[in-house]
């Protein structure tokens, strides 16, 4: 997938650092703020996916899918997006909650710039299969968490 000028940062989460407890499952799971820069001209929509590949499940654990975001530089207006399904059986952000003693888990916050809008509320896997060809650029922020 293309990676060029698009960046994803957060005033709440530092790249490759531990996620603060206030964003974790057992402490209220506050949704972290995200900031985007360098959106390509072809982008008509942005999507966010947060995934833990270290979860003890065959395909990891998806913590967040968010679709329908305007392709604008700056702070992402999370409330303007359309929450999709997470692997906890709900919609929207679900905070890190790895098993005790399982070590550090990595949480990948992926940002996708798309050339066509996402229809409906696909799961992470459905989104990647259906819209992989529409991803013009991507960026990611990776952080860790353990209990």
Question: Each residue of 32-69: pLDDT tens digit?
Answer: 999 999 999 999 999 999 999 999 999 999 999 999 99
**DSSP at 147:** -
Percent of the chain with pLDDT over 70: 98
Confidence grade of residue 2 (pLDDT, cut at 50, 70, 90): low
118 pLDDT higher than 80: yes
* 82 φ/ψ angles, rounded to the nearest 5 degrees: -110, 105
Ordered by start, the domain boundaries in the chain are 7-145
Q: pTM for the complete prediction?
A: 0.94
Q: For 133, left (φ over 0), alpha (ψ -120 to 50), or beta? A: alpha
CATH 3.90.280.10 is held by the domain 7-145: yes
Token pair listed for 99 = 């098993």
| pLDDT score at 71 | 98
Token pair listed for 78 = 């999370």
C-alpha–C-alpha distance, residues 93 and 66, integer Å: 9
């Amino acid at each position: 997938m293309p990676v060029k000028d698009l960046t994803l940062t957060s005033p709440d989460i530092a790249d490759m650092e531990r996620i603060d407890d206030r964003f974790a499952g057992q402490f209220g799971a506050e949704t972290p703020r995200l900031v985007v820069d360098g959106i390509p001209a072809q982008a008509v929509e942005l999507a966010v996916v947060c995934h833990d590949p270290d979860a003890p499940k065959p395909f990891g654990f998806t913590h967040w899918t968010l679709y329908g975001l305007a392709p604008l530089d700056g702070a992402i207006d999370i409330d303007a997006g359309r929450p999709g399904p997470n692997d906890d059986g709900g919609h929207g952000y679900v905070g890190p909650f790895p098993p005790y003693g399982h070590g550090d888990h990595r949480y990948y916050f992926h940002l996708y710039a798309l050339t066509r809008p996402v229809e409906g509320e696909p799961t992470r896997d459905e989104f990647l299969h259906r819209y992989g060809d529409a991803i013009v650029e991507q960026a990611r922020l990776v952080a860790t968490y353990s209990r």
